[in-house]
Chain A
Amino acid sequence: AQSVTQLGSHVSVSEGALVLLRCNYSSSVPPYLFWYVQYPNQGLQLLLKYTSAATLVKGINGFEAEFKKSETSFHLTKPSAHMSDAAEYFCAVQGGSEKLVFGKGTKLTVNP
């Protein structure tokens, strides 16, 4: 079975500061891992995905994530936050089937 834990339901950063959103996963098989972003009143949009190739994955809007098997982590980072990054971010794991299991989400606030 797969599960995802996102540490921190709310994260607040200043514009221009580093963004770090944490995700730990559990999977009985080698996982595929994903980060999605949801803007208010919209569906989820894929930011990036890890599918067992390079462990450092680059996504859209300057985000990247690093797969660390030893730590069962897949944290999302962005060097410099922009006001438009304010949204809710979901980590998800997929292992052995088409099912995606989502974390509870982290709401990112960017302060001017």
Chain B
Amino acid sequence: DAGVIQSPRHEVTEMGQEVTLRCKPISGHNSLFWYRQTMMRGLELLIYFNNNVPIDDSGMPEDRFSAKMPNASFSTLKIQPSEPRDSAVYFCASSFSLYGYTFGSGTRLTVV
């Protein structure tokens, strides 16, 4: 199993540009989570899906952030327009039932 696959690993973009982060969960996992990690705020849950349906998006910071899961094997997190304060490491994780998550390696986003 290749694990949770995130792309790109690194992204540098200019303020105001659209950024799309991608995630492929582990096959057979039915829940998918997007987290953001910063020094100041630690790990924050942005949104999670169960069976491709968004269950809780209360952590999404503002309307500039959106996430989709069109099928069981793919999810995107989009930021439009991006701002410097969005700079962080974004993690995707997947799980089956209540047995803990498997995390991807993360996308390090830098907005200049």
Contact = CB atoms under 8 A, between A and B. Distances in A.
Contacts of A98: 31, 33, 48, 50, 55, 95, 98
Contact of A99 (B56, B91, B102): B56
Nearest to B106: A43
Contacts of A42: 105-106
Nearest to B96: A98
Nearest to A90: B43
Interface size bracket, B side: 20 to 34
Interface string A80-102: 00000000001000100111111
A94 B97 CA distance: 11
The 7 closest A-B pairs by CB, nearest first: A43-B103, A102-B43, A44-B103, A104-B42, A98-B31, A43-B105, A49-B100
13 contacts: A43-B4, A43-B103, A46-B100, A94-B98, A98-B48, A98-B50, A99-B56, A100-B33, A100-B100, A102-B42, A102-B43, A103-B42, A105-B43
